[in-house]
């Protein structure tokens, strides 16, 4: 079954949400049915939501083994962080 | 069961209307549509735990829940919903024979869904401005549009899938085709519906899906067959009695209990 019914990752943006959030995964034979299954499983058909489905095989993940060289350098250089700036009033969602 | 002329008259649906004090035709129509939804909901619920994959099981349960919700509203319009669902005999149910047909294999279930949900969608669209059924139709049409889409998607995949799925999908359509004519027999109380136009829209939609799915539109008769119109008059096929026995068993064993 897993051959004909590959795994899909589901990203959902709720009605008032700003971005798509990973909601979970499911099996479906193709993208159209993956969307419909995602609607039933993860949105309860609330109106005004957006769903993305992506075949799991299309996602490349960072490796946990490479965590240190991958993420470490950024943490110890404070000048890389925008903490020396004051955020102007009226700028939201930063 | 052999339909006989005397059993087609004086259906208990008429008696129900008198008891409720509602206009008889509105009650007759509410019962007919409510029974369709109730019976099909029950059939779909039988898939629970048996669907080909978990995701499809959720989809079928979802559709069953939608239909049960519609049935509750419609039966409550006529009388007490539980009394109507659990305490009527087979002859008092006025659902279409199509919806009481057993599930069969997955393709058979999808064929039944395609024929019925397409009908239900166009029927509820036609009822949108109806003073009695308009509010229900406006809510339900969104649900049944999804049911129709679900059935279409699967008809296309099974019909245009493997040789085996194609064969089974065709078999399902062929087996159920003769029950489809009954859907377009006018129901008293649904004066807003132009039944000929409804049938024309239904045929065009269903035929288009069948052809896209590389299947053949069945050639068998839809009207004039022995089954046409019988369900609405309380005459049902044999599997329906067994379904009702299971559905009503607990309520009849403990009448009057609250759950």
- Domain limits for position A11: 7-80
Number of domains forming the structure of chain A:
1
Q: Is residue A94 part of a domain?
A: no
d(CA B202, CA B118): 6
- Bridge partners, A10 (sequence order): A24, A53
Taking contacts as CB-CB distances below 8 angstroms, the residues of chain B near A48 are none
Report the gap between the CA of B65 and the closest CA in chain A (Å).
12
pLDDT digits (tens, 9 = 90+) for B241-259: 999 999 999 999 998 888 8
Residue A53: strand, helix, or coil: strand
pLDDT of residue A74: 63
d(CA B148, CA B121): 7
What the block records as the tokens of B78 is: 């006529």
A vs B, Cβ pairs < 8 A, gives 29
**HEC profile of chain A:** CCCCCCEEEEEEECCCCCCCEEEEEEECCCHHHHHHHHHHHHHCCCCCCEEEEEEHHHCCCCCHHHHHHHHHHHHCCHHHCHHHCCCCCCCCCC
Is the Cβ of B162 closer than 8 Å to some Cβ of chain A? Answer: no
Which residues, in sequence order, are CB contacts of B13 under 8 Å at separation 6+? Answer: B27, B28, B31, B32, B92, B94, B234
How many CA atoms lie less than 13 Å away from B40 in the CB half-sphere?
Answer: 34
Ranges of each domain in chain B: 25-253
Taking contacts as CB-CB distances below 8 angstroms, the residues of chain B near A5 are 53
Taking contacts as CB-CB distances below 8 angstroms, the residues of chain B near A37 are 55-56, 58-59
Among all residues of chain B, which has the CA nearest to that of A28?
A: B55
> In what helix (H) or strand (E) does residue A24 lie, and over which residues does it extend?
strand A21-27
Fold held by B25-253: Ferritin (1.20.1260)
Report the CATH number at residue A30: 3.10.20.520
User: What is the pTM (predicted TM-score) of this model?
Assistant: 0.84
What proportion of chain B, given as a percentage, has pLDDT over 70? 89
d(CA B153, CA B58): 16
pLDDT digits (tens, 9 = 90+) for B61-108: 999 999 999 999 999 999 999 999 999 999 999 999 999 999 999 999
Give me the phi and psi of A8, to 5 degrees please: -125, 145
Residue of A1, A40, A48, A51 to mutate, testing the B interface (most B Cβ within 10 Å of its Cβ)? A40
Cβ neighbour number for residue B234 with a 10 Å cutoff: 23
Q: Is residue A1 part of a domain?
A: no
Taking contacts as CB-CB distances below 8 angstroms, the residues of chain B near A26 are 55
d(CA B183, CA B177): 11
What the block records as the tokens of B176 is: 């159920």
Q: Is residue A89 part of a domain?
A: no
Residue A72: exposure state from Cβ atoms within 10 A (0-12, 13-18, ≥19): exposed
Q: Report ipTM for this prediction.
A: 0.76
pLDDT of residue B254: 93
Residue pair B8/B64 in contact by the 8 Å Cβ criterion: no
Residue pair B233/B94 in contact by the 8 Å Cβ criterion: yes
> In what helix (H) or strand (E) does residue B195 lie, and over which residues does it extend?
helix B195-212
> In what helix (H) or strand (E) does residue B193 lie, and over which residues does it extend?
none
pLDDT of residue B228: 56
Q: B149 and A27 in contact by Cβ < 8 A?
A: no
Is the Cβ of B59 closer than 8 Å to some Cβ of chain A? Answer: yes
Residue B185's nearest CA partner among B147, B241, B225, B125 is B225
Q: Is residue A2 part of a domain?
A: no
**B187 pLDDT above the threshold of 50:** yes
Alpha helices in chain A (DSSP H): 31-38, 67-75
Q: CA-CA distances (angstroms) from residue A32 to A8, A36, A39? A: 11, 7, 11
Higher model confidence: residue B219 or residue B114? Answer: B114
């Amino acid at each position: 079954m897993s051959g004909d019914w590959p795994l899909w990752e589901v990203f959902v943006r709720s009605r008032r949400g700003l971005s798509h959030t990973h909601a979970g995964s499911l099996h479906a034979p193709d993208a159209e049915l993956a969307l419909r299954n995602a609607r039933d499983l993860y949105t309860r058909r609330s109106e005004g939501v957006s769903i993305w489905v992506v075949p799991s095989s299309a996602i490349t993940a960072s490796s946990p083994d490479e965590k240190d060289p991958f993420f470490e350098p950024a943490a110890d250089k404070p000048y890389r962080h925008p903490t020396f700036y004051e955020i102007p009033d009226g700028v939201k969602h930063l | 069961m052999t339909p006989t002329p005397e059993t087609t008259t004086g259906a208990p649906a008429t008696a129900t209307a008198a008891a409720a004090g509602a206009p008889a035709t509105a009650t007759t129509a509410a019962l007919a549509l409510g029974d369709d939804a109730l019976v099909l909901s029950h059939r779909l619920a039988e898939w629970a735990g048996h669907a080909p994959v978990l995701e499809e099981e959720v989809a079928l349960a979802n559709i069953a829940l939608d239909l049960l919700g519609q049935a509750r509203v419609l039966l409550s319009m006529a009388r007490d919903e539980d009394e109507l669902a659990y305490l009527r005999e087979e002859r008092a149910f006025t659902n279409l024979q199509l919806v009481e047909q057993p599930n069969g294999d997955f393709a058979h279930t999808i064929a039944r869904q395609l024929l019925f949900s397409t009908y239900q969608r166009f029927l509820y669209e036609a009822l949108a401005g109806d003073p009695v059924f308009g509010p229900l139709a406006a809510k339900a049409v969104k649900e049944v549009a999804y049911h129709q889409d679900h059935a279409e998607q699967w008809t296309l995949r099974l019909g245009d899938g493997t040789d085996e799925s194609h064969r089974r999908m065709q078999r399902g359509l062929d087996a159920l085709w003769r029950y489809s004519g009954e859907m377009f027999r006018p129901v008293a109380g649904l004066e807003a519906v132009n039944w000929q136009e409804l049938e024309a829209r239904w045929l065009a939609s269903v035929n288009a899906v069948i052809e896209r799915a590389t299947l053949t539109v069945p050639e068998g008769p839809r009207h004039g067959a022995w089954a046409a119109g019988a369900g609405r008059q309380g005459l049902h096929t044999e599997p329906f009695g067994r379904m009702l026995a299971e559905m009503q068993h607990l309520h009849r064993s403990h009448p009057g209990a609250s759950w």
